[in-house]
Structure 1
């Protein structure tokens, strides 16, 4: 009996990367989106619990051990939280490799999917190495911030793998008016700017990950105001996209994607203002990071819902019209 013919559906699903179908390929891509978003949130948990240097060395946890051991100067809780986050990297890497193997073994092979799939394990290894730099820099806000930005890039690659796995390999075809398509792309850029501004706020405010960690020398009121202003822009662009899709009677999938994004953005704004007025409690910071990952993923979803490359399994065909800007 083949491994992929196993009677247990869970085992069969876990082994599906070896004999992939378009559906299982897409399933592994979605799993990669989830685990990359998840480790981003657990990374924030490390920071808000002051566990950033729970394992003060890298790749070892302490100078003489790869795993947590009793240390007079380190809290066992901080060590456990930080080491647990490191262990999650192996889960993310395993899912990334599964995506890569599935893309390599998918028949017929799709070079576009394969390139996106290769980004998973390579990007995760780069992230792990950068994590070592974060520790060596004693949680400098630049290295911590770039750690998050790398995760944003990985989540984008994962989402594009998911989106491309559900369509064909033909040229990009717009499903909406050109200007609406551009609006969706501008929205993605605005959300990216919002995330970068959020990194500056996080690097300036409390919850550095450890008492010895340095902070950006910015005025917290100023960077928080800039962050809020960009958030207003994102809300406006999201509402405009939803309205444009509605009045043009666009596909239901595109309208649902924009509506979902608007809901997440408004909820994220409520969390942001609440944490600001409550002096930035740790729990709400973690919830805000979760919200930021969802806003990013939903923004990508809204953008990809405005275009297609034909139905899954369709062969490439000549472009109907130039679409050089239609990449997302």
Structure 2
């Protein structure tokens, strides 16, 4: 889906350091970790383990780790395991930062790498707040949305690392296609926000002891229709982008990325429709969350193709 544009060597004029191939592998690991931790978070929610560790940064009042009897052990294990994944994501982000600095990469790449670390720290704090306020819907929504932003950053980083630092920046889309791609990205943001509202009013609060207290007091079915309408707007904007890319003879790698993105959106749409008509069974939630990361990453890939540094 994404073409590699540079060789496995240090860019000319830079000091020796990790090869571009290694940098990209590290960035790919970071991207997978950023998407994966959102899935583990959804598992916390659908298993009712959100308050398995009722304190933060400790798990329980007197212990950093789960303690027998403080809460059901399986709930403690799931919530604590999700917290531990934060260290995995942090390690991946730190590895990318070190690689970028050792290879002497350009400022843009370093900034994206550091943004990933800052985002992980921010997410840890937001996650702690969501626990301390007993999983209020707005806290959970605020916890999810930055995760999608970090997936976008990691995807953009994966693309930019492949570009030679000294090469000129080239515009590869027609202006109309570029504007439509931006419109599609904006529509995706609205889709994600309305999706958190559907979840916030739905049955999966994240912990059985919380019940519907602190949930969004709006009709879930109505919100689902609004969310679906936003999804259709996003799909239409993406399809129009594909059409303009085809019409303007855009580069093949950009066009193929756009086609793959459309396919991912359709799969996500199918999962969402199944959720609606099946009554949001637990097993569909991690699938929907995982595909959210896939769609966000693919949208970022398409956006990155619009302007690139080519060898």
TM-score of the two chains, using structure 1 as the length reference: 0.86
Q: CA deviation at 1:306?
A: 2.3
Q: CA deviation at 1:172?
A: 3.7
Of residues 76, 99, 103, the one that matches 2:100 is 103
Matched, 1:192 2:189: yes
Of residues 61, 64, 67, the one that matches 1:66 is 64
Paired with 1:148 and 1:171, the residues of 2 have a C-alpha distance of: 36
Paired with 1:254 and 1:165, the residues of 2 have a C-alpha distance of: 17
Q: CA deviation at 1:190?
A: 0.8
| SS of residue in 2 equivalent to 1:308 | strand
Matched, 1:223 2:220: no
Paired with 1:299 and 1:157, the residues of 2 have a C-alpha distance of: 11
Q: CA deviation at 1:97?
A: 0.5
Matched, 1:279 2:279: yes
Of residues 43, 46, 60, the one that matches 1:45 is 43
Paired with 1:207 and 1:181, the residues of 2 have a C-alpha distance of: 38
Aligned to 1:263: 263
Aligned to 1:125: 121
Paired with 1:275 and 1:92, the residues of 2 have a C-alpha distance of: 29
| SS of residue in 1 equivalent to 2:96 | helix
Paired with 1:308 and 1:117, the residues of 2 have a C-alpha distance of: 18
Aligned residues: 292
| SS of residue in 1 equivalent to 2:55 | coil
Aligned to 1:23: 21
The unaligned stretches of length 5 or more in structure 2 are 1-15
Greater shift in the superposed pair: 194-203 or 300-309: 300-309
**2:176·2:244 contact (CA, 8 Å) conserved in 1?**
no
Greater shift in the superposed pair: 118-127 or 276-285: 118-127
The unaligned stretches of length 5 or more in structure 1 are 1-17, 312-328
> What do residues 126-180 of structure 1 show as CA deviations (whole Å, max 9, x unaligned)?
1111111111010011111011111112112212211111113455421121111
Of residues 84, 89, 111, the one that matches 2:86 is 89
Greater shift in the superposed pair: 242-251 or 263-272: 242-251
Paired with 1:75 and 1:155, the residues of 2 have a C-alpha distance of: 32
Aligned to 1:9: none
TM-score of the two chains, using structure 2 as the length reference: 0.90
| SS of residue in 2 equivalent to 1:173 | strand
Q: CA deviation at 1:123?
A: 1.4
Paired with 2:134 and 2:169, the residues of 1 have a C-alpha distance of: 45
Paired with 2:169 and 2:250, the residues of 1 have a C-alpha distance of: 17
4+ long deviations beyond 4 Å: none
